[in-house]
Amino acid sequence: MILGFRGALRIAGLPLLCAIALAFQAPPEGPLPAPRVRPQADADAGTPAILRVNSSLVLIPAHVTTATGASVTNLRKENFILLEDGIARTITHFAQDDAPLSAGVLLDISGSMKNKMVKTSEAAAEFFKTANPEDEFFLVEFNGHPNLKVPFTHDWREIPREIAKAKAFGLTALLDAVHLSIAEMKHARNERKALIILSDGGDNFSRRSLHQLSSTLLEAGVQVYAMGVFDRDYPVKHTREEQNGPGLLDRISSDSGGRAFPLVSLDNLPGVGAQMALELRNQYVLGFSPSTSVADGKYHRVDLTLAPPDAQSDLRVYYRRGYYAPAQ
Q: What is the predicted pLDDT for the residue at 236?
A: 53
Record the pTM.
Answer: 0.74
First CA to last CA distance, the chain: 37
Q: What pLDDT score was predicted for residue 206? A: 94
pLDDT tens, position by position, 215-258 = 788 777 788 888 887 766 555 566 677 778 888 898 888 867 77
Averaged pLDDT for residues 265-294: 80
What is the pLDDT averaged over residues 194-215?
87
What is the rounded average pLDDT of the residues 107-129?
Answer: 90
pLDDT reading at 87 higher than 80: yes
- Split at pLDDT 50, 70, 90, the class of 4 is very low
Q: Residue 83's pLDDT is what?
A: 96
Judge whether residue 304 has pLDDT over 80: yes
**Mean pLDDT on 308-327:** 82
Percent of the chain with pLDDT over 90: 33
The pLDDT assigned to 222 comes to 83
Report yes or no: 110 and 142 within 8 Å, Cβ to Cβ: yes
Please state, as a whole number, how many other Cβ atoms lie within 10 Å of the Cβ of residue 310.
Answer: 5
Q: For Cα atoms 193, 308, 3, give the angle at the middle one, nearest 5 degrees.
A: 25
Q: Which is more confidently placed, 203 or 261?
A: 203
The span from the CA of 176 to the CA of 147, in Å, is 10
The pLDDT value given to residue 201? 81
pLDDT of 283 reads: 79
> What distance in Å separates the CA atoms of residue 261 and residue 276, rounded to the nearest whole number?
9
Q: Which of 181, 183, 215 is nearest to 198 (CA)?
A: 181
Structure confidence at residue 232 (pLDDT): 60
257 vs 274 pLDDT, higher one: 274
Strand ranges in the chain using DSSP code E only, listed in sequence order: 19-21, 51-52, 58-65, 80-84, 87-89, 91-96, 101-108, 136-142, 146-153, 192-199, 223-229, 259-263, 284-288, 299-306, 316-319, 322-324
- Tell me, what amino acid is at 314? D
> In order of start, what are the domains of the chain with their CATH numbers?
1-328 (3.40.50.410)
